[in-house]
Structure 1
Amino acid sequence: MAALSAVAWAPGAVGTASAADGTADLTKVPRYATAPDATPVKGRASAADAPEIGKGTYTDSIERGEQKYYTVPLDARSTAYFSVVAAPPPGTKVEDHTDRLKISVQDVNGAICDREADPAFRGDGMAYPIADYATRSVDGDGSRCRSAGAYYLVVTREGSATSGPQAWPIEITHLSEPGLKDTAPTVPADGGPSATPPPPASGTKRKARGGAGFHSAGGVDTGLWKDRIRPGESRFYRVPVDWGQRLNLSAELPNAAGGTAEGISKALGVTAYNPARGVIDDDTFVFYDGRPAASRLFTAPVAYGNRFAVSDDVRAMRVAGWYYLEVTLHPDAARFFPQGADLTLRVDVRGTARPGPGYAGPAGDFSVRPGDREAAGKGLPGEQAGGGNLRTLGYAGIATGAVLLAALGSWTLLARRTAATATAAGPALSPQAHAAEPTRSGARAPGIPPGWPDRR
């Protein structure tokens, strides 16, 4: 029963989302869920004391006006991505555009390497997870930051005095993209049609399992999907997009049962991220007044040369792998959906998959691997689909242990019953007495050591 209760109240479960007055009860909205294997770390105000972080995921927190340094040793052969997620709890007071992070990778001289980022809130005063990345690249003609050595990840929180004063939890992920065997392509992909094509219009809706963070994001692929979302909640999904492919998406709210009312300017939004958790588009919030509404997204095709494009949304389509979708519903939507809203996702992965650019080493997270599309088609969350053989072995071990415990219990019960029966029939014989008893043939059975009972 305890396990069932844990499942029922796990992040992502949808129950009563608001009070009778139409105000969202944000205490019941799941908070951002960090990766369970993330390592706690404490960034420092001084580079001299900065803790070292390697590849993987880390957790920390940051105060308003605070700047934190982390030491990152880098080689000269791979591009490093450092994504940072800021996840203030639902209901935290934030100001659009002014409350934000600044993320950069710097060399030991304080020079900024390649791309820096400044993710900010855009949801009309709503607190929700925001993320983006800074990079240290080995591509291009510049010499800055191309050598191996020590670098710094620098994370700064900016904000106005009118926003919430509490610290924000942050999640840091360091991913590495191997260099290429040959010269890197420098031409961005052809953008294709300028008009957004319609996403899938018909088909059977499958159950999507939105997660509360990147790690637990539910898989989706081409087709129609349905889920539930609370006012004030953000749900995460992921879809495999290979080289040469692009993503066409629509996230939709239905009409409200009570009809139309005063509208919400930024009610529903979709923020799309690439496999390194870099923002593709984060300004897709749409108006809602009780009539059906949709937030749409249409990306460029994935191509290595996109990293040299002028437009940010094209540059983000630079690697293959799992692309992430964060769907957010404004707390004021409780006036239309007091018990939570039905959410429809129309997903279309367009284009034929092409060979990769020719990495000099394993592509890892920057590839669509065997089994990814199957996991997405089943709607499996990342925490279930992403563990590979180790996770399978873990589940198998748990199952085997359960079976052994059940067998042990049955064996113990049987032994007790046998002992009780023997006691009722007469005094039990010692091993020596058993050994003295003749067998039916008058001799001991072969293979029975002296002093042990012959139970033939």
Structure 2
Amino acid sequence: MRILAALITAATVTLTGAAQSASPAAATTSVDEPVPGKLLLMLDASGSMKAQDPSGLTKINAAKKALTGLVDALPDTAQVGLRVYGATVDGKGKPTTAACADTQLIHPIEALDKPTLTSTIKDIKALGETPIAHSLKEALNDLGTEGKRNIVLVSDGEESCVPDPCPTIKKLTTAGVDLQIDTVGFGVDAKARKQLQCLADAGKGSYYDAQDASQLANSLSKLGQRALRPFTTTGTPVTAAPSAETGPVLKAGQYTDTFAPGGPARFYRIERAPGSTVRMSVSMRPPKPGDTWLEEMELKVTDEQGALCASDLDNRFNPEGLLQVMVARVVVDGDGDDPCQTGSLIASVVRGKNGAPDAPVEVLVMEEPPVSEVDSLPAALGEAQSITAPATGKAQPIVGGGGFSDAVTITEGMHTEVVLPGEQLFYKIRLEHGQRAAFTLDAPAPGTATPEFHGTDAAMFDIVSWNPAREPFNHSSAEPSSREAFNGDGPVVANAFVPEVRYRNREGDDLDVAPASIAGYYYFSLGRDVEAADSTANVPLTVRIRVAVDGEPTAEPAYAGPSPDASASSSDSASPSTSASPSGSDTTAAAPDDVATDDGGSGWLPWAVLGLVAVLGALGAAIRIIQVRQRSQANT
């Protein structure tokens, strides 16, 4: 039931664009919509699938049960198909011509028809040979030539019709076919595991072991979810320029761009009010690059004369799993008189030459106006006091997002999550000044099966907490640690936290404190390291997540303009190089179609209500300002 609930949660996650401005007359922010992904499930129905797995089910029945659970939980709009091989021709244990051509697309890749596909899965019989290479070649025809294309292959054995299927797939992928292949070995031996690992590597995917029905269901659910919901970027599309003079002008907001590996720097120009602090980040989840071992991204910000204001370099190494999100981020202070603190800025981005081809990036610009009466605000924390979340209530299944823009809003209490090797999941929770939060991991979740790991095999988990500008906290010396390994002997606890948010935390150099200086959505990412194909830890694990928020909103700074959180979500970013709306149309708010606007009609009532709401809102805002000032004076 936990897996089914988690799948349902995944299916209902909505991909949201950048938040809209509170002004009804403002232009709307456009969203960089990805081409809908296509997922082809491929199932081994060879004779060996008649054998039993450790749970007591035959392998074919365990696979059918896992597939049915996945299908039940997928959204109706999912583009999913199913191909089986070895299901119709009994070669009597010999790779005959007919047996090696035995592969069928039993459900086309189209908007999901759950009743039909479920019924089709029920009728699958295990019978013949294992023509993996031929089936994968046919799968390319199934998937077509456009959009993100994913294959999830489940097999319990090696190819039986050609010596090795891997060269066939390598030839296809090196020819430029845009395809990802993830493979799941269901109770396989070393030779079959090596073949399936090679297929996954050639297809820029991952290989996972499944020793029983439960592990198979977990792997299929997460792989299906990940294929249908890739790393998402949202914001106004923009293209960085090859020179600083021609760079598009970015105001506070969120943007999307694409960067190829290597090459010269590409530029943006940033407008900001004198004295305001600018926070900028560039986020990217690098595609799996095959043999590439290093991915880099560098962000530099200078003044108009080219003097360096701030810079950051982020990188990922292949052994650590390149699926982890990279973030290059800078803060340019506005408290001073030099050009970096008063004038417009120039940002340049360089992606390392070793990366995989074009990757989408998300560019965030936050502008923080000056604050009056800073000395009346609470002083910076001397050091961050680690807090953990208690184990209270009943844990509810949840599925994290693939990045910042589709991070799942997580509530206080307890949750369960299934985590695959090489996966990084994102969650967010809103914090105001005066509040702090904890994100505590129990691996594995209490009450779930504990897998047996051999030798030095272990599952390594890493939690990172980020502020609204995507600046990470440094929890390297905190206890409990934010990075822990489960080796199969007993549960482990990992923990990340956000210290109390105070405006003046920025005054210190403590990387566990300084980022907690602005209100807004704080993020927690839960990552798991990649495992070797033959590692007994290369299996899905169910973990428990505990979340706590402590403190009441207080000591809000008096900004001389919109708060940084509001400025980043402003729809002013809709036009990076012009003040016109994206469509070029008039952006003045129109009256609703069903509201009469003539003097004798009934349209006065809705407008009167709106006017009353506006008055009440203004009154509430005035009261809030008085309360904030009173709290500020009380803290002096």
**TM-score when normalising by structure 1:** 0.67
Deviation at 1:186, TM superposition (A): 9.1
AA in 2 matched with 1:108:
E
C-alpha distance 282-46 of structure 1, shift in aligned 2 (>3 A): farther
Q: Matched residue of 2:366: which SS?
A: strand
* C-alpha displacement of 1:7: 8.9
Q: 2:545, 2:317 → 1: CA distance? A: 22
Match of 1:296 in 2: 495
Whether 1:182 and 2:380 are equivalent positions in the alignment is no
Pair 1:6 & 2:78 matched: yes
Find the partner of 2:401 among 176, 200, 211: 211
Quote how far apart the aligned CAs of 1:135 are.
2.3
Q: Deviations over 1:260-310 (max 9, x none)?
A: 224457721112110111112386443232343333123332111111211
Aligned to 1:69: 267
Separation (CA, whole Å) in 1 of partners of 2:282 and 2:455 = 36
**Among 461, 470, 474, the residue aligned to 1:277:** 470
Name the structure 2 match of 1:19: 184
What residue number does 1:80 align with?
Answer: 278
CA offset digits 1:339-361 (Å, max 9, x no partner): 63223211122333313111122
**Residue 6 (structure 1) shift:** 1.8
Given candidates 207, 211, 221, the residue that maps to 2:411 is 221
Q: Give the letter for the 1:40 counterpart.
A: P
- Residue 57 (1) aligns with residue 254 (2): yes
The within-5 A match list for 1:19-418 is 19-20=184-185, 24-25=206-207, 29-30=226-227, 32-36=230-234, 38-66=235-263, 67-90=265-288, 95=293, 99-113=295-309, 115-121=310-316, 124-127=319-322, 128-139=324-335, 141=336, 143-149=338-344, 151-158=345-352, 163-183=354-374, 187-191=379-383, 193=385, 196-254=386-444, 257-263=450-456, 267-281=460-474, 284-291=482-489, 292-332=491-531, 335=535, 340-363=540-563, 365=565
**Post-superposition offset of 1:319:** 0.8
Gapped regions of structure 1 (runs ≥ 5): 368-389, 394-456
Instruction: Report the 3-state secondary structure (helix = DSSP H, G, I; strand = E; otherwise coil) of the residue aligned with 2:266.
Output: strand
Q: Take 1:44 and 1:192, find their aligned partners in 2: how far apart are those partners?
A: 41
SS at match of 1:247: strand
Distance 2:254 2:184 in 1: 37
**Distance in 2 separating the partners of 1:288 and 1:177:** 41
CA-CA distance at 1:257 after TM superposition: 4.2
- Following superposition, the deviation at residue 366 of structure 1 comes to 6.3
Take 1:203 and 1:326, find their aligned partners in 2: how far apart are those partners?
23
1:307 counterpart SS class: helix
Aligned mates of 1:76, 1:53 — CA distance in 2? 15
CA distance in 2, matches of 1:7, 1:213: 22
One-letter amino acid of the counterpart of residue 454, structure 2 = A
Which amino acid in the other structure matches residue 515 of structure 2?
Answer: A
**Partner deviation per Cα, 1:31-66 (whole Å, 9 max, x = no partner):** 753344x23322233213322223322222334434
Distance across 1 between alignment mates of 2:387 and 2:244: 49
DSSP 3-state at the match of 1:138: coil
Distance 2:419 2:500 in 1: 29
Partner in structure 1 of residue 18 of structure 2: none
RMSD of aligned Cα (Å): 3.7
Q: Give the whole-Å Cα distance in 2 for the aligned partners of 1:69 and 1:212.
A: 27
Cα 1:308/1:197, change in 2 over 3 Å: closer
Are 2:272 and 2:343, in contact at CA under 8 Å, matched by a contact in 1? yes
How far apart are the structure 2 equivalents of 1:301 and 1:123? Answer: 35
Deviates more, 1:213-222 or 1:26-35: 26-35
Change in CA separation of 1:300 and 1:3 when aligned onto 2, cut-off 3 Å: closer
Equivalent AA in structure 1 for residue 76 of structure 2: L
Letter in 1 for 2:305: N
Q: Partners of 1:71 and 1:157 in 2: how far apart?
A: 18
TM-score (norm: length of structure 2)? 0.50
Is the CA contact 1:104–1:154 (under 8 Å) kept in the aligned structure 2? yes
Contact 2:282 2:363 in 1 (8 A): yes
Kept in 2: contact 1:186–1:305 (CA 8 A) = yes
Paired residues of 2:436 and 2:498 also in contact (CA < 8 A): yes
**What is residue 157 of structure 2 aligned with on the other side?**
none
For residue 474 of structure 2, what is the amino acid of its counterpart?
D
CA distance in 2, matches of 1:122, 1:304: 35
In structure 2, the CA distance between the partners of 1:135 and 1:363, relative to structure 1 (3 Å rule), is same
Letter in 2 for 1:276: A
- The amino acid across from 2:316 in the alignment is F
Alignment CA distance shift 1:295-1:100 (3 Å)? farther
CA distance in 1, matches of 2:451, 2:459: 20
Matched with 2:22 is: none
Q: What is the rounded CA distance, in whole Å, between the counterparts of 1:274 and 1:203 in structure 2? A: 27
Give, in whole Å, the separation in 1 of the partners of 2:417 and 2:403.
16
Aligned to 1:396: none
What pairs with 1:420-431 in structure 2 (closer than 5 Å)? none
Q: 2:421, 2:304 → 1: CA distance?
A: 45
Return the offset for 1:172.
0.7
Distance in 1 separating the partners of 2:427 and 2:415: 11
301-310 or 285-294, which moves further after superposition? 285-294
Using a 3 Å threshold, how does the CA distance of structure 1 residues 154 and 175 change in structure 2: closer, same or farther? same
SS at match of 1:271: strand
Q: Which protein, 1 or 2, shows the higher relative CO under an 8 Å CA cutoff with sep ≥ 6? A: 1
| Number of equivalences | 357
Q: Which residue of 2 aligns with 1:429?
A: none
